[in-house]
Chain A
Amino acid sequence: MTIYSVFVINKAGGLIFQYDHHKPVIEMEKTFGFPLELKLEEQSEGITVIFGQRDGIRVGHIILSINGKPVQSGKVDGIPVMETISKKENYPLSIKFGRPKLSSNQKIMLASMFHSLYAISVQLSPKSGSSGIEKLETDVFTLHCKQTLTGVKFVVISDNKQVGVDTLLNKLYHVYSDYALKNPFYSLEMPIRAEQFDNHVKATVEKTQKTGSAY
């Protein structure tokens, strides 16, 4: 039972709060000889594996470091990674792969993407009076969403086995109304930067994870 992250989206689709509670670390380091058994390609997230899954390295993983040195915008010590891995004299190379982490820009993009998916799901409803997506299931995580009457969406990403997410969503709304809305320095629709709010969200998530209920 795990809760991975919490998102709060305002009524325009903007991300006003995000908290990662549990981040599973997926990293694999392996020493390679020449030629590389993987097919790599430079993409926006980094140098991505596009073919050749092996030893826990999956398609979609990016290169995090080479010989222990971290990759920064496709370069290690100013030398492009693609150049390093194409030269035989550089081998053997120890390369660390991992799942790309979401940047804050990507999180903002995903939040607004969810906002429109939510609206489309209402449009496609075969029955009238439907809400938007309340629960979205995949084989590794479940997304729960609650929209308040004022249009704010609380989104919780959790494990499939996690219980009590519905009460967690309600409690998050309480915390939001108590510690964000009552804060005189908070302007509506803007990102929430309040220590009290952060702490209460954290405590609520922790409690739900432990006891299966937020109250």
Chain B
Amino acid sequence: MTVYSLHIFNKTGGCLYEKEWKRSKKSSLPKEQELKLMFGMIHSINSFVSKMSPTDFKDGFLSYTTSAYKLHYYETPTGLKFVFATDVSVGNTREILRKLYSKVYVEYVVRNPLIGLDVPIESSLFDCKLEEYLTEYEFFADQNVKQVP
């Protein structure tokens, strides 16, 4: 099992945080364009799903799977969006992302007075805690070597 990347977007589409672990295919697009594309896709999926849905729903879009990866999504009521790409074999990560928000983001970003809420997070403490939090999970375990791009 592999974890590919984690992106955090604010409600206006700015990328607050991005981290890539194992990524074999580099995108043909420049970074900035790719982030915009990702946010645009998430935004469209949300609107697509709300129109397509036969009944009313609570959480909306949770994840999608392709033949090579699975993209998990969690949105807080304040509009913060967590986009998490993993291997297809990873199950439901909703609870993991929810805790990532409450235990890591709130603790080390919101409670840090030196970090603005709408600017990219450059705190190494957050970086560290995030990695620590995710490595506790089984799907992260065999990911021993971190690839530095």
Residues of A that sit less than 8 Å from B by CB = 4-5, 22-24, 26, 58, 60, 99, 102, 106, 110, 113-114, 116-117, 120-141, 143, 157
Contact = CB atoms under 8 A, between A and B. Distances in A.
A127 B38 CA distance: 15
A126 B69 contact: yes
Contact of A126 (B24, B59, B60): B24
Nearest to B72: A137
Nearest to A120: B41
Given A26-B55, A127-B25, A117 B41 contact: yes
B85 A141 contact: no
Nearest to B49: A138
B27 A137 contact: no
Contacts, number: 121
B52 A126 contact: no
Interface of B: 4-5, 20, 22-25, 27-29, 34, 37-38, 40-41, 44-45, 48-69, 71, 85
Contacts of B59: 138-139
Contact of B27 (A26, A123, A132): A123
A98 to B, nearest CB: 11
A117 B45 contact: yes
10 contacts: A24-B54, A24-B55, A99-B55, A113-B44, A124-B37, A127-B23, A127-B24, A129-B67, A135-B65, A137-B62
A58 B53 CA distance: 14
A138 B68 contact: no
Given A123-B37, A124-B34, A141 B64 contact: no
Contact of A137 (B4, B25, B64): B64
Given A127-B4, A128-B25, 18 more contacts: A5-B54, A58-B56, A113-B48, A120-B37, A121-B41, A125-B66, A125-B68, A126-B25, A130-B68, A130-B69, A131-B66, A131-B67, A133-B64, A133-B65, A137-B65, A138-B59, A140-B53, A157-B52
A131 B66 CA distance: 6
B27 to A, nearest CB: 7
A112 B50 CA distance: 16
Contact of A130 (B53, B56, B66): B66
Contacts of B66: 121-122, 125, 130-134
Nearest to A129: B68
A126 B45 contact: no
